[in-house]
Amino acid sequence: MDDQKDFYKSLPKVDLHRHLEGSLRLKTMQEIARAHGISVPISTGPLSSLVRVQSSEPTTYQNFLTKFNTLRMFYRSPEVIHRVTREAIEDAANDNVRHLELRFAPVALSRAERFPMGQVMDWVCESASKGAREFGLRVVLIASVNRNESVELAEQVAWLAAARMGKGILGLDLAGNEAEYPAAPFLGIFKEAQQSGLKETVHAGEWAGAANVREAMENFNAGRIGHGVRVMEDPAIVAMARERGTVFEVCVTSNIQTGAVRSMQEHPVMNMMKAGLNVTLCSDDPSISQIALSGEYQRACEDLGMEHKALKERILAAARASFLPKAECDILVEQLVKELSI
């Protein structure tokens, strides 16, 4: 078993879908709570239950989202934001992630102390750049807006992100509760962002049906879909996604914990691949889910039956779907082809 675990850890990895806010180390949160007098339980057990999914908890998106309510309490200083960004990159590097696309929500990071969002974004950009150099991996940043927040806030985030494309922010993400909040109000913002040069990814087909995947592809012109597992409910939309080569950022453990998929045995990722969809494997929120991308690769192979050759092809697919400029993307792909021997 250890040999198998070592094999998956040794693979060079690409993670297109990881949230900074879901990547905080528990020990770091305990230290921040003590230093800033945050009134949450700081012994390992109680705090852990507030910020990590427990096996005894319901597998619903409502329960999953409550973890972020607590996590938003921790961003109390520039030093904290610098630290958690650096640590998220270090943790990815320790799992042999060679290319990380780290999305972060400026609204969430700025809210606890009412920091100006532009400053928060600069802090994340600075730390991501330093972390990438320190730990020897590529890092792309994606600014994320949530459907449950105002269009005005989203517009600010998009404008500030476009102004920081030279600092490492290359994408814009629409995230949050798709079951209760529509995407349509944000369409104009995403079209303008695309015109400015930002790439786009949209959470869709996770907690609502395949129609949301169609909307993301047709209306938002999104080349990448966050999760998208419910696309399989509509063969016509599957065909559209296959024809377009739309990239699906699938996060197996998260999909089960949020109730998007009822069980590991029912996860549709293998059927998505059989249908010709461009699937990638991602981590989503490593700290909340208590997982590493190595573990996600292992579950895909050992629990769902993905062959090692197919896994390596999915790693290359993720590299090709990167938001990196084409020349840098080509270099990444070439390096991975050699290392994966395919």
Domain ranges of the chain: 2-340
DSSP helix/strand/coil, 277: coil
Residue type, 141: L
196, two tokens: 């400015």
Q: What is the pLDDT of residue 338?
A: 96
Neighbour count for residue 235 (Cβ, 10 Å): 11
Report how far Cα 237 is from the mean position of its chain's Cα atoms.
23
Q: Which CATH class is domain 2-340?
A: alpha beta
Q: Is the dihedral of CA 342, 245, 169, 205 positive or negative?
A: negative
Q: What is the pLDDT of residue 41?
A: 59
DSSP structure class, residue 185: G
Residue type, 295: G
Instruction: List the chain pLDDT tens, one digit each, 342 residues.
Output: 577 889 999 999 999 999 999 999 999 999 999 999 887 755 555 788 889 999 888 899 999 999 998 899 999 999 999 999 999 999 999 999 999 999 999 999 999 899 999 999 999 999 999 999 999 999 999 999 999 999 999 999 999 999 999 999 999 999 999 999 999 999 999 999 999 999 999 999 999 999 999 999 999 999 999 999 999 999 999 999 999 999 999 999 999 999 999 999 999 999 999 999 999 999 999 999 999 999 999 999 999 999 999 999 999 999 999 999 999 999 999 999 999 987
DSSP structure class, residue 282: -
Report how far Cα 257 is from the mean position of its chain's Cα atoms.
15
What span, in angstroms and rounded, lies between the C-alpha atoms of 240 and 131?
A: 38
- The number of helix segments (H) and strand segments (E) in the chain equals 17, 8
